Structure 1
Amino acid sequence: MSSIIIDEISAHGDRLECSIRSSAALERFFTDEPFRTSYDVSIEDVPEGVLAIPVLAQVCPVAWANGADVYVDEVDATFARALEDVQASLCEMYDFLEGGTLYARSTIEPEHEPGDESGLLFTGGVDSTCSYVRHREESPTLISIRGWTITPDAADDEKWDALRERVSGFAADHDCATAFVESNMLSFLDHPMLLAHYKRYVDGGWYSSVGHGLGLLGLCAPMAYARGMTDLYVAATHWDGIDLEWGSRPDIDEHVRWTGTGCHHDVYELTRQERLDVIADYVRNEDPDLQLQTCNNRMDGNCGECEKCYRTAIGLRLSGLEPSAHGYPFSDADYHDLRRSLERGDWVLGQDERHMWADIRERARETEPASSAERTFFEWLETVDLDELVSSSEPPLTHRLFWIGARNTPNSVYSTVYPAWRTAKAGLQFVRSDR
């Protein structure tokens, strides 16, 4: 039976580190880095069973994909039960997941004084901003995570600095605290090898399609315990009625919990356009200068030229707001450029983008166009086959051949050529991660 062993968990100040050992068959899914996470609060007094949660949240889906068991000295009893529920949901969603068992020498139910704080995973995009608006009376701590869309690599320092500055500014303007979490969860995992084995089963990357609901929430556990957070919110990407295979859904996130904290998949009952409506009402009544950040290309503002910028700008217009007042350079001339790019397949789009454009089309049917350019675009959108917009999203042949070779390479050979994998890694990260 394949296995993953969690050992040597340590907490020094605000830093968590641990190492793992795995069966030979699973070694290729992990790099030689120990798992590391840093917070901006001391975690030295957090019980070891809670400190184990961040690494378990990353490795358990890998174990379940291989029918492997996971061993740990100590784990929070509430989280152990949560893992069983999350595993059931993921295995029901994906046929290739086999499941496995968590074995712990001890499970703990620590005495913990309930706090009155809540937290919200926050980027400043449409989904998390809508979630903030809905819970603003709680003054939730705004939590930003480095390690997924912003990597721990020095090349991403400017992106992280830009995100920190923007979230800190939003928090100061709205009387909220912040929490910044940094982790190497996707360089601790061998993400290219996970793609090589499992990309054929999923629409996006490993983390977006399988791991990020449990993974991101689990990263927050020591910080949430130390701060006394009773509720932790993560905004939905999709909405009720869209049954897509995705790593963050109500049947995953709502199960995640540990002593003192329950997690919530928020704003799922609202479509993306309805979330923009909530934001628009808030702008008109309380925050006329609110800025959104959703760009796929930069973190220090919106480029106004990527698919997500165009889509958000049009959604703002349909909710009665002027995009340029909220971070999006957009004019009637952009409708022509957007249509041309969609028709040419300039962007890699998936089924979730298809649903978002369908949502826009539905709202456009109820809205009087503000200009002839807008009318022309909406008339085209009414007639276009949205499935055609995502038909070209299959990975390039070179990547597919690379993945086939990787998953059929003996681990001893793979370990020898691993530096070449690291060099080529950037070229394999074309799959969508955050929407």
Structure 2
Amino acid sequence: MSSILIDDLSVDERTFECSVRTSSDLERFFTDEPFQASYDVPIADVPDGILAIPVLAHVCPVAWANGADVYVDEVDATFARALEDVEASLCSMYDFLEGGDLYARRTVEPDPEPDGERGLLFTGGVDSTCSYVRHRDESPTLIGIRGWTITPDAADDDKWAALRERVSGFADDRDCDAAFVESNMLSFLDHPMLLAHYKRHVDGGWYSSVGHGLGLLGLCAPLAYARGMADLSVAATHWDGIDLEWGSRPDIDERVRWAGTRCHHDAYELTRQERLDVIADYVRTENPGLQLQTCNDRMDGNCGECEKCYRTAVGLRLAGLEPTDHGYPFTDADYRRLRRSLERGDWVLGQDERHMWADIRERARETEPASPAERAFFEWLDGVELDDLITTAEPPLSDRLLRAGARNAPAPVYNAAYPVWTTAKAGLRLVRSDR
């Protein structure tokens, strides 16, 4: 029987770790690292049933993909019920998920003392900034996380420092608190192997497509318990009417809960352009110098040249703001560069981006262009077939062969060959990017 065992949970003042042991058929999906998470508040008095939530939030989707059961000494009873609800949502979304059961020696029902504090996962991008603006009267604690887009590796120390500075500065300027969480939540999983097995079933990566709603919210459970947070929110990426398979949706995030805390999927009723409208109103009434951070390539500012930077700059223009005032080097000449890059397929775009450009197009149809360059771009966008901008080609044969080899290799063979496969794949990507 396929199984995952959460064991040897230990905690010091601000950090906890635990081991994850699996049946032999699941070994390939985990590295030799124990699961670890660190918080900027003391967690020594947090019950073990709450401390188990971050690791359960990350291993359970892997278990459900393999029909495996998960075993843990102690779990918060409210979260155990939440896992059943999230499992039902994910299994209804993805046919390849089989589900599984959670077994605990003890289910506990702690009696926390929430003080009404509200938490908000925050990066400084459009979605999380909109959520802050909507809830600013509640002075939410802004939470920055290291472990997904910013890895625990030393190579990402500068990125993490930049995020901490940005979140702390934003919070200080608005008289609210900032909090930070660091974890090896993805490096303790063998993410390349998860991709090898499941990439063909999902539109993006494993974490973005399956795990990040439950994972990011669950990671914050010890922090929320220690601080007495009654509510914890994550900003929506998509909006009502977009039915994409994605790891963070209302039918997932709204079901995540544990003793004393309920989680929320915020601003799902607003499109991305409408979220920019909310931000624009805030800029005009309260914060004319607001800076956004959305870049795909940098954490210490916006490059102004990636698809997301261009898309955000155009959205700001449509909301009546000048992009250069809010962190985006953008001029009328960029409309031509943007069109050329979209036509040439310079970026890998998925259904996410298709819906966002469709949202921009709808707003552009209602907006008088401010310049000839803007008019020319909007006229082109109005007539283009957006599906033609989406990357629909299969991965190169070399990638497919590597993934097939990883899926089918016995675990000992995979463990020995994995470094070679990783090097080979990196080399192939390097060659392709140089063309």
TM over 0.5: yes
SS of 1:181's partner is strand
User: Alpha carbons of 1:426 and 1:38: their partners in 2 closer, same or farther (altered >3 Å)?
Assistant: farther
Deviation readout 1:149-191 (Å, 9 max, x if unpaired): 0101111111111111111111110111111111001110000
Instruction: Give 1:98 deviation, angstroms.
Output: 0.1
Deviation readout 1:94-141 (Å, 9 max, x if unpaired): 000000000001100012112221100000000000000001011111
Instruction: Give 1:10 deviation, angstroms.
Output: 1.1
Q: State the partner residue of 1:153.
A: 153
SS of 1:187's partner is coil
Q: State the partner residue of 1:86.
A: 86
Q: Conserved in 2, the CA contact under 8 Å of 1:304 and 1:310?
A: yes
Cα distance in structure 1, aligned partners of 2:229 and 2:424: 40
Deviation readout 1:62-108 (Å, 9 max, x if unpaired): 00000000000100000000000000000000000000000001100
Work out whether 1:402 is the aligned partner of 2:407: no
Deviation readout 1:41-73 (Å, 9 max, x if unpaired): 110000000000000000000000000000001
Work out whether 1:3 is the aligned partner of 2:19: no
Q: State the partner residue of 1:236.
A: 236
Cα distance in structure 2, aligned partners of 1:318 and 1:128: 19
Q: Conserved in 2, the CA contact under 8 Å of 1:350 and 1:393?
A: no
Aligned length: 430
Instruction: Give 1:394 deviation, angstroms.
Output: 3.8
Cα distance in structure 2, aligned partners of 1:234 and 1:421: 36
Q: State the partner residue of 1:44.
A: 44
Instruction: Give 1:243 deviation, angstroms.
Output: 0.2
User: Alpha carbons of 1:427 and 1:215: their partners in 2 closer, same or farther (altered >3 Å)?
Assistant: farther
User: Alpha carbons of 1:175 and 1:426: their partners in 2 closer, same or farther (altered >3 Å)?
Assistant: farther
SS of 1:417's partner is helix
Cα distance in structure 2, aligned partners of 1:292 and 1:228: 29
SS of 1:73's partner is strand
Deviation readout 1:315-365 (Å, 9 max, x if unpaired): 000000000000000000000100000001010100010000000000000
Cα distance in structure 2, aligned partners of 1:279 and 1:218: 28
Gaps of 5+ in 2: 431-435
Q: Conserved in 1, the CA contact under 8 Å of 2:232 and 2:262?
A: yes
1:193-342, aligned counterparts within 5 Å?
193-342=193-342
1:353-392, aligned counterparts within 5 Å?
353-392=353-392
Q: State the partner residue of 1:433.
A: none
Q: Which range moves more in the overlay, 412-421 or 320-329?
A: 412-421
Instruction: Give 1:423 deviation, angstroms.
Output: 4.5
Instruction: Give 1:393 deviation, angstroms.
Output: 5.6
SS of 1:123's partner is coil
Cα distance in structure 1, aligned partners of 2:182 and 2:423: 23
CA RMSD of aligned residues (A): 1.4
Q: Conserved in 2, the CA contact under 8 Å of 1:128 and 1:235?
A: yes
Q: Conserved in 2, the CA contact under 8 Å of 1:126 and 1:275?
A: yes
With the length of structure 2 as denominator, give the TM-score of the two structures.
Answer: 0.97
Cα distance in structure 2, aligned partners of 1:240 and 1:426: 38
Percent identity reads 81
Q: Which amino acid aligns with 2:53?
A: I
Q: Conserved in 1, the CA contact under 8 Å of 2:53 and 2:221?
A: yes
Cα distance in structure 2, aligned partners of 1:319 and 1:428: 42
Q: Which amino acid aligns with 2:412?
A: S
SS of 2:103's partner is strand
Q: State the partner residue of 2:122.
A: 122
Cα distance in structure 1, aligned partners of 2:429 and 2:331: 32
SS of 1:8's partner is strand
With the length of structure 1 as denominator, give the TM-score of the two structures.
Answer: 0.97
Q: Which amino acid aligns with 2:287?
A: D
Q: Which amino acid aligns with 1:50?
A: I
Cα distance in structure 1, aligned partners of 2:289 and 2:340: 31
Q: State the partner residue of 1:53.
A: 53
1:135-150, aligned counterparts within 5 Å?
135-150=135-150
User: Alpha carbons of 1:323 and 1:393: their partners in 2 closer, same or farther (altered >3 Å)?
Assistant: farther
Q: Conserved in 2, the CA contact under 8 Å of 1:192 and 1:425?
A: no
Q: Conserved in 1, the CA contact under 8 Å of 2:302 and 2:309?
A: yes
Gaps of 5+ in 1: 431-435
Cα distance in structure 2, aligned partners of 1:106 and 1:14: 24
